[in-house]
Structure 1
Amino acid sequence: MITVDGLVAVPSLNLAYLAGSDGGTRPVTWAHACDLPDPWRWFKNGDLVMTTGGGLPAHAADQADWMTRLIDSGVSGLVLARTEQAPEVTHELLETAERRNFPVLKASYNLQFVTLARTVIESAVETERERLATIKRLYDIYWQSLRARGTFSTRLSALESSIGWALEVRDVDTGETLARGQEASRRRQPDVLPPADTAEQRVPLPSVGNVMLSARPGRRPVQDRVLLQHLGGLIGLELEHHAAHRDHLRASGRDLLLGLLDGTINLSAVWPELRHRGMNSGIVIACWKAADDLPLNHDHIHHDSRLQHCAPLLAPRHPVLLGLVPDQPDLLTALAVKLADRCTVGVSTPLAASTDVAEAARQAQLAAARAQESDGHRLLRYGADENTGLLPGSLEDTRQLVRRVLGPLISYDRDSGGDLIRTVRTFLANDGAWQHSAQELGIHRQTLVYRLRQVEQLTNLKATSTKGSALLWLALQAADSARLSLKGLTH
């Protein structure tokens, strides 16, 4: 597209700078003649304003204000072909333009504005013709790169070579670079968000998440935003396809993980699938849990830019999210931050092909619960704090404690249709308040007394004593933290 400097270089137009020559690289998209006193109301970005000066105010201060308002409208420049009746152009007007690097050109009154406009229009038509040819060439290059099964960065490099810009695709929310061409890599340190630069042009990409395409000058300046938007649309198509593929992987991964958890699928059978998903070694079960069992924002977590190189198996089990994931603490912690404000993640011991995945999931759930109880632990590995706290340090220790203390009550409730476990839980939760506990259970106070006597007979633990209440409470808390189902446990 022709620039202000390009118009000055056309001999037949006989244009010369009065001010603002440093702004001569501004592209000119159209040219209009206007002698109205408020031309900024009628023009848009890229337009060249041509005037005989009839709309200029007479006083210097008013001319400076007039020029400021015209510059702020975003036009590319001003061409003055004064008539003898027009006010003289003041030093203040030119000084304002010079300070803002805004081109002000002098033209002979004999210049026909239609000639200047035709030059701009012919340039715009030729520019559009060249743009269409460039777009076709870029599409051909991009699809050839896709067929060659190159990487995302390889395709950006191919586009850079053709268009002469340095290109990169960036996640705005995390600041992480998703892909970068060779020219952009040469100009930057890896994974560092660049400072603001007026030479940089950005366009949002139509994809899942807040992603943008950034272009900086390479062999050529970035002046054609329309072409950049075409590039954004082209790259956005690939990101949309990639997002749809990740949705499919999320759905199939959920089914696989649920099968592993319920024992209908063996981990050894899906080991090759895990490699295809980018998890070649060092995998664990992770459990994400929010404070107070608040909901987790997990619907689009598989689109997080940090997961672009792998596709973990994820399955929500309210109120937690379970995942078969790479053993990468930084990644797991970053996902926890994104899932909820006060979200912790528990991590199982490393998995092998023969690992019982359901057991590993219980390890992760216990670790997540213990992380919630600790101060400052966003991530906790199973067994890492087994010697701290009141609750058992391992899953097997938890089972043994629950069986020993609550086993007789579990068996009684199952065999007789009783409600002793709920009775004990309610009584302890109300700090031994008889009447309040009876009301919450919907029974008479004497019925509550009778039930607790049964508890004592079955367990030799008195719920009203310090030792009895402590052991019963500890067993219940351990079962809840490990998310153990009491129905399957007996003494």
Structure 2
Amino acid sequence: MITVDGLVAVPSLGLTYLSGSRGGSRPVTWAHACDLPDPWRWFKTGDLVMTTGGGLPPSPDEQRKWIAKLIDSRVSSLVVALKPGAPAVSPALLETADERDFPVLSASFDLQFVTLARTVIESAVETERERLATIKRLYDVYWQSLHARGTFDARISALEGSIGWALEVRDLDVGETLARGREAARRRASRPEEFGEESVEAPMPGVGNVALVAHPGRRPVQDRPLLQHLGGLIALELEHHAAQRDHLRASGQDLLLGLLDDTVDLSAVWPELRHRGMAAGVVVVCWKAADHAPLNHENIHHDVRLQHLAPLLAYRSSMLLGVIPDDSELLSSLAAKLAGQCAVGLSTPLAASTQVSEAARQAQLAVAQAHEAGIRLVRYCTDQCDAGFLPRSVEDARQLIRRILGPLVEYDRSHDGNLVASLRTFLGNDGGWQRSSDDLGVHRQTLVYRLRKVEQLTGLKPTSTRGSAMLWLALQAADRAQLSLDDLVT
């Protein structure tokens, strides 16, 4: 596309700079003649305005305002070929244009504006022809890269080589890069302080707040329509990729639920984990926010940190369970995105023979210990687990529950009783008799009888400090590790 400098360089046009020569690199998209007093109403970005001075106001102050409005309309430049009797171009107009690097050119009145317009139009037509050829070449290059099954970064690099720009695909919401070509990576590493100074962003349709960012390479980034075409091409792949990730999230949830319910063996799923980018170092993870707050999990599988992974994820009872590689930085960053006070608990590493339901209990106990300790991440059975009041391991929790609550569960089972439910309600209401009996829908004296029975069976008095603490600890251990009392006590 021809620039203002390019027009000045055409000898037959006889154009010279009056001011704003620093803006000579501006591309000129079209050219129009206008002698109306408000030309900014009739032009588009990049247009060249030609005038014989008919609409030019006479006073310097009015000319200053006039040129400021014209510059604000984002036209490329102004060509003045004053006819006899037209107001002279004032120093105030030229000073304003020079301050804003806006080219104002002088031409002889003998110059036929149609000649200048033809030069611009021919350049625009040729530019469009070249753009179409470039777009076709870019589509061919991109298709060949897709067919070669290279990485996303490799395809961006192939486009860089064809178009001469350094390219990045950036998620503007999180400020992270989805893909970066080799030239962009090289320039960012070699000159980080200069990188991005002359970059141009083109929003990519249909893929969230994502933009294609072009930096000058072998050539400057001046053709925004071409950049938008390129962004649309890449957006097609991102849309396809997003649809694939939605499918993998749904199928992964079905697999994980089967593993948690022990209807699917992990050994049968192991090849699928490798297909999803999880070959080794895999754990069960539990993300959970404080006070059972909901997690913003619906689109977490689209996070840029997971673009090379497809973990198994399932949302249950205000917590997100996942089978995912053991990567502390990754897991913590996902926790921060899920909720403000979200912690993460990790199981021991999985093997093909691991029972995933047991690993999930480990992760749930670990995340409870993380919240208790006020830290972001806890691995099951590490030194960090010793800091809290909860049992160290799932097996420790089982033994505690059997020892303390076992007699109550057996009694409820054989007598169709409600001792465990009554105890849980009483402790949950901080020992409030009337509120607890109201919640249970029984007379207060009935609740007194049930808690006496609890004391007889366990040797622990629910109204004493020691008794309430031990009973509450056993109930908490069952809840935090997601252990069923009926399954534990036989």
* TM-score grouping bracket, smaller chain normalisation: over 0.9
What are the superposed Cα offsets for residues 64-99 of structure 1, whole Å, 9 maximum, x if unpaired? 222122111100000001112111111121111112
The amino acid across from 1:27 in the alignment is P
Mapped contact 2:378–2:385 kept (Cα < 8 A): no
Give 2:473's aligned amino acid: L
> Alignment RMSD, CA only?
1.8
Deviation at 1:265, TM superposition (A): 2.0
After TM superposition, give the deviation of residue 389 of structure 1 in Å. Answer: 2.1
* Amino acid across the alignment from 2:89: V
Cα deviation digits, residues 42-82 of structure 1 (max 9, x gap): 21210111111122222222212221221111000000011
Q: Percent identity?
A: 70
Q: Does 1:13 align with 2:8?
A: no
Superposed, 1:290-439 pairs within 5 Å as 290-375=289-374, 377-384=375-382, 385-439=384-438
**C-alpha separation in 2, matches of 1:194 and 1:482:** 52
Q: Does the Cα contact within 8 Å between 2:335 and 2:343 map onto a contact in 1?
A: yes
Gaps of 5+ in 2: none
| Matching residue's letter, 1:241 | H
The 1:432/1:29 distance shift into structure 2, 3 A limit, reads same
Q: Secondary structure in 1 aligned to 2:287? A: strand
What amino acid is the match of 1:40? W
For 1:453, give the aligned amino acid: R
**Cα displacement (A) at 1:173:** 2.5
How many Å separate the matches in 1 of 2:235 and 2:84? 56
What is the rounded CA distance, in whole Å, between the counterparts of 1:260 and 1:50 in structure 2?
74
Cα-to-partner distance string for 1:362-419 (whole Å, 9 max, x where unaligned): 00001111111222x0111112233222221111111111111111111222232211
Partner Cα separation in structure 2 for residue 255 and residue 396 of structure 1: 28
Residues 335-372 of structure 1, C-alpha deviations (whole Å, 9 max, x = no match) = 00111111110011111222121111000001111111
More off after superposition, 250-259 vs 396-405: 250-259
| Equivalent residue letter for 2:122 | E
Q: Which amino acid aligns with 2:29?
A: T
Q: Which whole-Å CA distance do the structure 2 matches of 1:191 and 1:304 have between them?
A: 28
**CA distance in 1: counterparts of 2:131 and 2:488, whole angstroms:** 72
Query: For 1:256-286, what per-residue CA distance to the aligned partner results, in whole angstroms no more than 9, with x for missing partners?
Result: 2122222222222222221221112111110
Contact 2:365 2:394 in 1 (8 A): yes
Residues 82-101 of structure 1: pairs in structure 2 closer than 5 A:
82-101=82-101
Q: Which moved more, 1:205-214 or 1:273-282?
A: 205-214
Give the whole-Å Cα distance in 2 for the aligned partners of 1:454 and 1:12: 109
Shift, 1:112, TM fit: 1.7
1:256 paired with 2:239, answer: no
Change (3 A) 1:194 1:458: farther
2:61 corresponds to 1:56: no
With 59-68 and 333-342 compared, the bigger mean Cα shift is at 59-68
Partner Cα separation in structure 2 for residue 310 and residue 177 of structure 1: 16
Q: Structure 1 155/304 Cα, relative in aligned 2: closer, same or farther at 3 Å?
A: same
Taking structure 2 as the reference length, what is the TM-score of the superposition? Answer: 0.96
> Which whole-Å CA distance do the structure 2 matches of 1:191 and 1:353 have between them?
47
**Alpha-carbon distance change, 272 to 191 in structure 1, aligned in 2, over 3 angstroms:** farther
Could you report, residue by residue, the CA deviation over 1:279-303 in whole angstroms, capped at 9, with x for unpaired residues? 1211111000011111111111111
Per-residue CA deviations over 1:459-479 (Å, capped at 9, x if unaligned) read 222222232222111111221
**Paired amino acid for 1:210:** N
Range 118-127 or range 185-194, more displaced: 185-194
Contact 2:37 2:55 in 1 (8 A): yes
Partner residue, 2:135 = 135
Matched letter for residue 453 of structure 2: Q
Which letter does structure 2 place at the counterpart of 1:422? A
Do the aligned residues in 2 keep the contact of 1:175 with 1:193 (CA within 8 Å)? no
Shift of 1:193: 10
Alpha-carbon spacing, 1:190–1:301, altered in 2? closer, same or farther (3 Å): farther
> How far did 1:423 drift?
0.8
Contact 2:373/2:387 (8 A) holds in 1: no
Alignment of 1:27-46 (within 5 A): 27-46=27-46
Is contact 2:196-2:215 (8 Å) kept? Answer: no
Runs of 4+ in 1 over 4 A off after TM superposition: 190-196
Partner of residue 77, structure 1: 77
Contact 2:188 2:195 survives alignment (8 Å): no
- Distance (Å, rounded) in 1 between the aligned partners of 2:363 and 2:192: 34
2:158 maps to a residue whose letter is A
In structure 2, what residue type is equivalent to 1:356? Answer: Q
Q: Partners of 1:395 and 1:209 in 2: how far apart?
A: 42
Aligned partner of 2:231 in structure 1 is: 232
Deviation at 1:190, TM superposition (A): 9.3
Equivalent pairs counted in the alignment come to 489
Conserved 8 A contact 1:165-1:218: yes
Query: Do the aligned partners of residues 347 and 179 (structure 1) sit closer, same or farther apart at CA in structure 2, a change above 3 Å counting?
Result: same
**Corresponding residue number in structure 2 for 1:440:** 439
For the Cα contact (< 8 Å) 2:187–2:195, is it kept in 1? no
CA distance in 2, matches of 1:189, 1:300: 32
